[in-house]
A and B are shown apart, each in its own frame.
Chain A
Amino acid sequence: QSVLTQPPSVSAAPGQKVTISCSGSSSNIGNNYVSWYQQLPGTAPKLLIYDNNKRPSGIPDRFSGSKSGTSATLGITGLQTGDEADYYCGTWDASLSSGRVFGGGTKLTVL
Protein backbone atom coordinates (compact mmCIF):
# COMPACT_ATOMS: atom_id res chain seq x y z
CA GLN A 1 0.00 0.00 0.00
CA SER A 2 1.61 3.25 -1.16
CA VAL A 3 1.57 6.39 0.97
CA LEU A 4 0.46 8.41 -2.07
CA THR A 5 -2.63 7.28 -3.98
CA GLN A 6 -2.77 7.27 -7.77
CA PRO A 7 -5.32 5.66 -10.10
CA PRO A 8 -3.92 2.37 -11.44
CA SER A 9 -4.69 3.30 -15.03
CA VAL A 10 -5.96 6.04 -17.32
CA SER A 11 -6.54 6.08 -21.04
CA ALA A 12 -7.33 8.56 -23.80
CA ALA A 13 -7.09 8.88 -27.55
CA PRO A 14 -4.19 10.46 -29.42
CA GLY A 15 -4.40 14.24 -29.39
CA GLN A 16 -6.59 14.30 -26.30
CA LYS A 17 -5.79 15.48 -22.79
CA VAL A 18 -5.44 13.35 -19.66
CA THR A 19 -4.91 14.09 -15.99
CA ILE A 20 -3.39 11.83 -13.34
CA SER A 21 -4.12 12.52 -9.70
CA CYS A 22 -1.92 11.93 -6.67
CA SER A 23 -3.50 12.11 -3.25
CA GLY A 24 -1.64 12.35 0.04
CA SER A 25 -1.81 14.05 3.40
CA SER A 26 -0.48 16.99 5.38
CA SER A 27 2.66 15.02 6.29
CA ASN A 28 3.67 14.68 2.66
CA ILE A 29 2.05 16.54 -0.26
CA GLY A 30 0.41 19.12 1.99
CA ASN A 31 3.75 20.52 3.15
CA ASN A 32 6.30 19.47 0.54
CA TYR A 33 7.09 19.77 -3.13
CA VAL A 34 5.77 17.15 -5.55
CA SER A 35 7.64 15.69 -8.50
CA TRP A 36 6.45 13.47 -11.33
CA TYR A 37 8.32 10.72 -13.19
CA GLN A 38 7.70 8.93 -16.47
CA GLN A 39 8.84 5.34 -16.89
CA LEU A 40 8.69 4.03 -20.43
CA PRO A 41 8.58 0.24 -20.78
CA GLY A 42 11.92 -1.35 -19.94
CA THR A 43 13.64 1.91 -19.03
CA ALA A 44 14.62 3.88 -15.93
CA PRO A 45 12.28 6.56 -14.61
CA LYS A 46 12.75 10.09 -15.94
CA LEU A 47 11.93 13.37 -14.21
CA LEU A 48 8.97 15.18 -15.82
CA ILE A 49 7.93 17.78 -13.24
CA TYR A 50 9.69 19.11 -10.14
CA ASP A 51 8.77 21.61 -7.43
CA ASN A 52 5.05 20.97 -8.14
CA ASN A 53 4.90 22.61 -11.55
CA LYS A 54 8.36 23.15 -13.09
CA ARG A 55 9.63 21.30 -16.15
CA PRO A 56 13.28 20.29 -16.55
CA SER A 57 15.02 21.37 -19.71
CA GLY A 58 13.89 19.23 -22.64
CA ILE A 59 10.45 18.32 -21.28
CA PRO A 60 7.76 19.65 -23.63
CA ASP A 61 5.11 22.01 -22.35
CA ARG A 62 2.47 19.36 -23.09
CA PHE A 63 3.33 18.15 -19.59
CA SER A 64 2.19 20.25 -16.63
CA GLY A 65 1.89 19.86 -12.88
CA SER A 66 -0.19 21.45 -10.19
CA LYS A 67 -0.79 21.07 -6.47
CA SER A 68 -3.68 22.01 -4.23
CA GLY A 69 -3.77 21.15 -0.55
CA THR A 70 -2.89 17.49 -0.14
CA SER A 71 -3.32 16.52 -3.79
CA ALA A 72 -1.31 16.98 -6.96
CA THR A 73 -2.14 16.52 -10.61
CA LEU A 74 -0.13 15.75 -13.72
CA GLY A 75 -1.64 16.93 -16.98
CA ILE A 76 -0.66 15.77 -20.45
CA THR A 77 -2.11 17.43 -23.54
CA GLY A 78 -1.81 16.47 -27.20
CA LEU A 79 -1.36 12.80 -26.30
CA GLN A 80 1.02 10.78 -28.43
CA THR A 81 1.50 7.01 -28.61
CA GLY A 82 5.00 7.59 -27.27
CA ASP A 83 3.47 8.86 -24.02
CA GLU A 84 2.34 5.33 -23.12
CA ALA A 85 4.18 4.71 -19.88
CA ASP A 86 3.87 4.42 -16.13
CA TYR A 87 3.74 7.72 -14.26
CA TYR A 88 4.71 8.18 -10.61
CA CYS A 89 4.32 11.07 -8.21
CA GLY A 90 6.80 11.53 -5.38
CA THR A 91 7.46 13.76 -2.40
CA TRP A 92 8.96 13.82 1.08
CA ASP A 93 6.95 12.39 3.96
CA ALA A 94 7.61 13.86 7.39
CA SER A 95 5.73 11.28 9.45
CA LEU A 96 7.40 9.07 12.07
CA SER A 97 9.24 7.09 9.40
CA SER A 98 10.44 10.11 7.41
CA GLY A 99 11.61 9.63 3.88
CA ARG A 100 10.84 9.92 0.22
CA VAL A 101 7.59 8.34 -0.87
CA PHE A 102 6.06 7.52 -4.24
CA GLY A 103 2.58 6.86 -5.52
CA GLY A 104 1.77 3.37 -6.71
CA GLY A 105 2.03 4.45 -10.33
CA THR A 106 -0.49 5.03 -13.11
CA LYS A 107 -0.39 3.18 -16.41
CA LEU A 108 -1.28 5.53 -19.28
CA THR A 109 -2.72 3.89 -22.38
CA VAL A 110 -3.05 5.95 -25.55
CA LEU A 111 -5.84 4.23 -27.44
Chain B
Amino acid sequence: EVQLVQSGAEVKKPGTTVKISCKVSGSTFTDYYMHWVQQAPGKGLEWMGLVHPEDTETIYAEKFQGRVTITADTSTDTAYMELSSLRSEDTAFYYCATSRSIVGATDAFDIWGQGTTVTVFS
Protein backbone atom coordinates (compact mmCIF):
# COMPACT_ATOMS: atom_id res chain seq x y z
CA GLU B 1 0.00 0.00 0.00
CA VAL B 2 1.41 3.36 -1.04
CA GLN B 3 1.61 5.91 1.78
CA LEU B 4 2.69 9.53 1.88
CA VAL B 5 3.84 10.81 5.26
CA GLN B 6 4.41 14.54 5.65
CA SER B 7 6.48 16.47 8.14
CA GLY B 8 4.94 18.20 11.13
CA ALA B 9 3.32 21.56 11.71
CA GLU B 10 5.32 24.73 11.16
CA VAL B 11 5.02 28.24 12.62
CA LYS B 12 6.94 30.87 10.69
CA LYS B 13 7.44 34.62 10.70
CA PRO B 14 6.56 36.73 7.65
CA GLY B 15 9.38 36.98 5.13
CA THR B 16 10.94 33.65 6.08
CA THR B 17 11.00 30.30 4.26
CA VAL B 18 9.32 26.98 5.07
CA LYS B 19 10.32 23.56 3.75
CA ILE B 20 7.92 20.62 4.07
CA SER B 21 8.74 17.00 3.33
CA CYS B 22 6.65 14.12 1.99
CA LYS B 23 8.07 10.59 2.27
CA VAL B 24 6.76 7.88 -0.04
CA SER B 25 6.59 4.27 1.09
CA GLY B 26 5.12 1.11 -0.35
CA SER B 27 5.95 1.75 -3.99
CA THR B 28 8.61 2.94 -6.42
CA PHE B 29 9.16 6.66 -5.89
CA THR B 30 10.20 7.33 -9.48
CA ASP B 31 6.95 5.84 -10.86
CA TYR B 32 4.97 8.91 -9.75
CA TYR B 33 4.66 12.62 -10.23
CA MET B 34 4.63 14.39 -6.86
CA HIS B 35 2.31 17.36 -6.50
CA TRP B 36 1.76 19.96 -3.81
CA VAL B 37 -1.64 21.49 -3.04
CA GLN B 38 -2.44 24.45 -0.79
CA GLN B 39 -5.67 24.77 1.18
CA ALA B 40 -6.19 27.98 3.14
CA PRO B 41 -8.54 27.89 6.14
CA GLY B 42 -12.12 27.40 4.96
CA LYS B 43 -11.05 27.58 1.31
CA GLY B 44 -10.69 25.21 -1.64
CA LEU B 45 -7.77 23.35 -3.14
CA GLU B 46 -5.06 25.18 -5.08
CA TRP B 47 -2.38 23.35 -7.05
CA MET B 48 1.14 24.68 -6.47
CA GLY B 49 3.28 22.52 -8.72
CA LEU B 50 4.87 19.14 -9.29
CA VAL B 51 8.16 17.29 -9.58
CA HIS B 52 8.91 14.08 -11.45
CA PRO B 53 11.51 12.29 -9.30
CA GLU B 54 12.75 10.21 -12.24
CA ASP B 55 14.16 13.22 -14.11
CA THR B 56 13.57 16.11 -11.63
CA GLU B 57 11.28 17.87 -14.14
CA THR B 58 9.23 20.55 -12.38
CA ILE B 59 6.15 22.57 -13.31
CA TYR B 60 4.92 25.40 -11.11
CA ALA B 61 1.59 27.19 -10.93
CA GLU B 62 1.82 30.77 -12.11
CA LYS B 63 0.56 32.05 -8.75
CA PHE B 64 3.52 30.55 -6.89
CA GLN B 65 6.22 30.87 -9.57
CA GLY B 66 9.31 32.48 -8.13
CA ARG B 67 8.42 31.66 -4.51
CA VAL B 68 8.06 27.88 -4.58
CA THR B 69 10.68 25.21 -5.14
CA ILE B 70 9.71 21.55 -5.36
CA THR B 71 12.39 18.91 -5.25
CA ALA B 72 12.76 15.14 -4.92
CA ASP B 73 15.43 13.05 -3.24
CA THR B 74 15.49 9.56 -4.74
CA SER B 75 17.94 8.32 -2.07
CA THR B 76 15.26 8.77 0.61
CA ASP B 77 12.09 8.62 -1.53
CA THR B 78 11.14 12.05 -0.25
CA ALA B 79 9.67 15.07 -1.99
CA TYR B 80 10.06 18.60 -0.65
CA MET B 81 8.18 21.85 -1.07
CA GLU B 82 9.91 25.09 -0.13
CA LEU B 83 7.92 28.33 -0.02
CA SER B 84 9.76 31.59 0.48
CA SER B 85 8.87 35.19 1.36
CA LEU B 86 6.06 33.92 3.55
CA ARG B 87 3.10 36.17 4.23
CA SER B 88 -0.03 35.79 6.33
CA GLU B 89 -2.00 34.59 3.28
CA ASP B 90 0.26 31.51 3.14
CA THR B 91 -1.25 30.24 6.39
CA ALA B 92 -2.78 26.98 5.17
CA PHE B 93 -2.69 23.23 5.04
CA TYR B 94 -0.24 21.88 2.46
CA TYR B 95 -0.78 18.44 0.95
CA CYS B 96 1.45 16.30 -1.20
CA ALA B 97 -0.23 13.95 -3.66
CA THR B 98 0.80 11.51 -6.38
CA SER B 99 -0.29 10.99 -9.95
CA ARG B 100 0.81 8.50 -12.64
CA SER B 101 0.99 11.13 -15.37
CA ILE B 102 0.96 14.91 -15.76
CA VAL B 103 -1.96 15.12 -18.16
CA GLY B 104 -4.11 12.49 -19.78
CA ALA B 105 -5.27 9.14 -18.51
CA THR B 106 -4.24 8.43 -14.89
CA ASP B 107 -3.39 12.08 -14.18
CA ALA B 108 -5.64 12.12 -11.11
CA PHE B 109 -4.18 12.60 -7.63
CA ASP B 110 -4.60 9.07 -6.36
CA ILE B 111 -2.74 9.13 -3.03
CA TRP B 112 -2.59 12.09 -0.63
CA GLY B 113 -0.44 12.86 2.37
CA GLN B 114 -2.04 13.70 5.70
CA GLY B 115 -1.33 17.41 5.32
CA THR B 116 0.99 19.85 7.05
CA THR B 117 -0.27 23.04 8.62
CA VAL B 118 1.82 26.16 8.19
CA THR B 119 1.01 29.22 10.26
CA VAL B 120 2.60 32.53 9.31
CA PHE B 121 2.49 34.73 12.37
CA SER B 122 4.40 37.78 13.43
The chain A residues found within 8 Å of chain B, CB to CB, are 2, 32-33, 35, 37, 44-47, 50-51, 56, 88, 90, 92, 94, 97-105
The number of inter-chain residue pairs (CB within 8 angstroms) is 69
Please determine whether B109 and A45 come into contact, CB atoms closer than 8 angstroms: yes
- Contacts A33-B104, A50-B110 known; A100 to B47 CB distance under 8 Å? yes
Please determine whether A100 and B35 come into contact, CB atoms closer than 8 angstroms: yes
Please determine whether B110 and A92 come into contact, CB atoms closer than 8 angstroms: no
- Contacts A99-B59, A100-B35 known; A47 to B108 CB distance under 8 Å? yes
The chain B residues found within 8 Å of chain A, CB to CB, are 35, 37, 44-47, 49-50, 59-62, 95, 97, 102-115
A-B contact pairs, 29 of them (CB 8 A): A32-B104, A32-B107, A33-B105, A33-B108, A35-B107, A37-B109, A44-B113, A44-B114, A44-B115, A45-B45, A45-B95, A45-B112, A46-B112, A47-B110, A51-B105, A51-B108, A56-B110, A90-B47, A92-B102, A97-B61, A99-B47, A99-B59, A99-B61, A100-B47, A102-B45, A102-B47, A103-B44, A104-B44, A105-B44
